[in-house]
Every structure is written in structure tokens, then in C-alpha cells.
Amino acid sequence: MILIKALLVLRKDNKKDRKSIEELKELAEVLYEVEGTYIQIRKPDSKYQIGEGFVKKLSKIVKDKNIDIVIFGNTLTPTQKYNLAKEFKVEVIDKIELVLRIFSKHAKTKEAQLQVKLAELQYELPRAKEKVRLAKQGEQPGFGGYGDYEVEKYYQKIKREIKSIKNKLEKLKEHRKILRKRREKYDSVGLVGYTNAGKTSLLNALTGENKEAKNQVFTTLTTTTRRIRGIKRKILITDTVGFMDDLPPFMIEAFLSTIEESANNDLILLVVDASEDIKEIERKLIVNHEILEKINCKSQIITVLNKVDKIDEKKKLEILNELDRYLINPIFVSAKYNINIEKLKKMILDNLNLSIGTIETDNPKLISYLYENTEILEDIEENDKHIITFRAKEKDVNRILKIHKIET
């Protein structure tokens, strides 16, 4: 396997800027061999994004280390990319393009592939005309092929492709609505959180599944819905794409259906990696809440602080005290070692908006239905009849009681 060597560059406005070179490195390592990371604190330069002197310094490093690609943590304009590629003599991409390449690698289903393609085209559209014009000035790494197009024709071609993919995704969305309607009678729990927080591992712990959980960002792009095991009633849990800082509006739009699938549930498990630095946890919690707000999520939330096996009591208290304003119903768990998973299941039941009903019946079909579709709190046999107290969604409790009243 040929290793592609990458150099990472991040410009920050000031020392308080929350952009993270560690996150950029984590992303880059999915596809490349990272040979070095460099940060410059300054205001953006219109020609290069970073200062011209810093560009000259990096050019020498790129040549000396035989770097294949330079990745910026900042969003680059086509002109900045062109100018940088001219100086570095290698391809230059930004964080969004890197994420799109990772998405492309992990997109296995038809829907995920369409969503990735839509995100790529929506990223390309505002840059299309400028890219074609620059490509005609002279070949630069990463601009190959654009010079073959007419400016307006290439722009219109992208618009047509976007429209076509949106139509295909709309049809898939309608199919998803039908599936969601079928599941409405069950309580639903959504797994959300920053990428690589351990959502898939938590899904496995709660459901007894063995879905592949890599220690790598964006391994989950499609939705996975399973039943939570060890709970008396049927509760479905859904895992989907992780969140990320600086996620642009076009990317949220492209993956909106899968994000909504997880976020618009009766209950949300907001998964956080508790083993990270306090400031990093805070940054990611802010991002999580911002995205949930963007998609107008109104669900109840439990904040699941995962990887508790990696921290001590002092760190737990520090998290609870310093990040209190971001934590809703917090619980520390370890999905890997099954720590507090049963306690989490109880919290899930307690936080779902459930009602309680009691009926007296000797109908075996009704008794069987209650055992399969509700949580049985008590079943007393008396005079050949069952007095059953059960818990379910309010509308389901009312429906069962109404049917039972008609039958009797």
C-alpha cells in the first residue's frame, strides 16, 4: 500500500479561536500519512489564507519531506487553492474537501452515495466558474480537467446534476417516511453526537448488535435502527452520521434526512467522549447543541458521557462542575466495558413520555399483545382473569383502553 504523505496547516484568528489542529489530524489520518502540523495565528490573507512568508517556509518543507498533499483546516477559495498549489507544486485541499473524501470512502448504500455526491456538487457550485477560469490560466495540481469546460456550461451542468440527485433523494425520503410511520407505535431513541464519540459502540451495548465500530471518524453515514435489548417493551434506537465543527449549511442539507432520522425521536442520547480534555468536550458539546438547534430538535435529551473507564473521579467532578450548563440528564457509561448500561436503560424508560393503563381481561390475544408491545408493570391473576398494569405511549394506552372498553 502506497502511503500518501500529507502536511496539515491551520490558520487561527487568535489564541481563543476554537479551530482544532488535533481534529484536522484525526480526519486526515483516515486517508493519509500525516508528516507534520503547522499553525499560524493571524488574520486571513486574501491571496494565500496564510502569510506569504509562511507559504515560502512551508514550500521548502513540502519539497524536503516529499509531501504529496497539503490540507488546510480553513475553507479556501479557488484562487487561494490555485496560488498555494502554484507555490507548493502539490495538490492543496481544505477541511471540507477532506471530509467529503472521507464520506465518499465510507458511503456504502445508494442513499449515502447520493448524499455525498450532492454535498460535493453543492460545495463545487459557487466555486465552479472561478475554477474553470483559473484552470485556463495554466495547469496546477488539483485543477486538471477544468480547463476543458466552458465557464457557463460547466456551471449549468452542476446545477442539472444537483436537481437530478435531489429528486432521487426525495423519492428515498418518501420511502423512509413510510418506514417511519410503521415504527410510530414504538418508542424511538436517537443517537447523536460528535463524530468518533462512541455512538456505534453504545448502539452495540444497548442492542446486543455487533455493528463495526472503528476508532475512526465518520464510519457511520447511513441510519441503523435496532431494538434495545433487556427492556420489557419495544424501544427502537437509531444511529447515524456524526456531527462536526464548521459543518457548512450545504452539508447539513445533503445529510438532513439521516440527521433528522436520529434527531427527531421521542428521546435523544447525546453521546460525548468523556476521556477528552475539558475544553475539547466543551467545544464539541457546543457544536452538538448548535446542530440540534439548526434542525429544530425538540426531543428530550440524556447526555451520555462515554468512555468512563478512561477517567477518574476527579475528572468526573470536573466535567459535571465546569460543563454543567451543557449537560442535560448526564450519565457516565462505558459502552466498551458495559459500565452503567443497565442504569442507562432505566433512564431511557424514565425519560420517555409514557402513560400507565390498567385493564382486566381474559382475552389471550390482548394479553399476548400487551406483553409484546408494552412494558408490563404488574400482572395479577384473579378469578381466571388477568389484571394487567402496563406502560406505553399515551396515545397507545388510550387506544388499548378504548378497544378494551368496546369489547367489554
pLDDT at 212 over 70: no
Pairwise CA distance, residues 199 & 181, whole Å: 25
Mean pLDDT of the 208-235 span = 71
Given this model, what pLDDT does residue 397 score?
87
CB 77 within 8 A of CB 47: no
Residue 250: enclosing H or E segment and its boundaries? helix 249-254
- The least confident of 97-111, 174-188, 194-208, 340-354 is 174-188
pLDDT at 147 over 60: no
CB 43 within 8 A of CB 13: yes
pLDDT at 80 over 70: yes
pLDDT at 181 over 60: yes
pLDDT at 239 over 70: yes
Pairwise CA distance, residues 3 & 26, whole Å: 16
Given this model, what pLDDT does residue 110 score?
83
CB 281 within 8 A of CB 272: yes
Given this model, what pLDDT does residue 291 score?
81
Domain ranges of the chain: 5-106, 110-173, 183-351, 354-407
List the beta bridge partners of residue 41: 12
More confident residue, 334 or 240: 334
Superfamily of chain region 183-351? P-loop containing nucleotide triphosphate hydrolases (3.40.50.300)
Given this model, what pLDDT does residue 1 score?
60
Assess whether the region 5-106 and the region 183-351 belong to the same CATH fold: yes
C-alpha cell at 213: 465500530
- Choose among 266, 257, 276: nearest CA to 172: 257
- Choose among 10, 75, 7: nearest CA to 40: 10
Superfamily of chain region 5-106? GTPase HflX, N-terminal domain (3.40.50.11060)
pLDDT digits (tens, 9 = 90+) for 294-351: 777 878 899 999 999 999 999 999 999 999 999 999 999 999 999 999 999 999 988 8
Please tell me what DSSP assigns to residue 327: -
pLDDT digits (tens, 9 = 90+) for 89-144: 999 999 989 988 888 887 777 887 888 888 888 888 888 777 777 777 766 666 66
Identity of residue 175: H
- Choose among 106, 113, 79, 114: nearest CA to 94: 79
Given this model, what pLDDT does residue 130 score?
79
Given this model, what pLDDT does residue 148 score?
60
CB 250 within 8 A of CB 203: no
Torsion of CA 145, 150, 152, 156, to 10 degrees: -60
- The least confident of 17-26, 155-164, 239-248, 274-283 is 239-248
Given this model, what pLDDT does residue 243 score?
73
Q: What's the whole-model pTM score? A: 0.69
Q: Is residue 220 very low, low, confident or very high in pLDDT (cuts 50, 70, 90)?
A: low
Mean pLDDT of the 140-158 span = 71
- Choose among 45, 32, 34, 143: nearest CA to 89: 143
Residue 204: enclosing H or E segment and its boundaries? helix 199-207
| Residues 6+ positions from 154 with CB-CB distance below 8 Å | 128, 129, 132, 146
Pairwise CA distance, residues 9 & 21, whole Å: 8
Out of 6-15, 103-112, 371-380, give the one with best mean pLDDT: 6-15
Given this model, what pLDDT does residue 348 score?
92
CB 186 within 8 A of CB 236: yes
pLDDT at 252 over 80: no
Q: Provide, rounded to the nearest whole percent, the portion of the chain with pLDDT above 70.
A: 86
Give backbone dihedrals phi and psi of 295, rounded to 5 degrees, phi first: -95, 15
Task: Locate the DSSP E strands across 267-344.
Answer: 267-273, 300-306, 331-332
Could you give the 3-state DSSP secondary structure of residue 397?
Answer: helix
Please tell me what DSSP assigns to residue 49: B
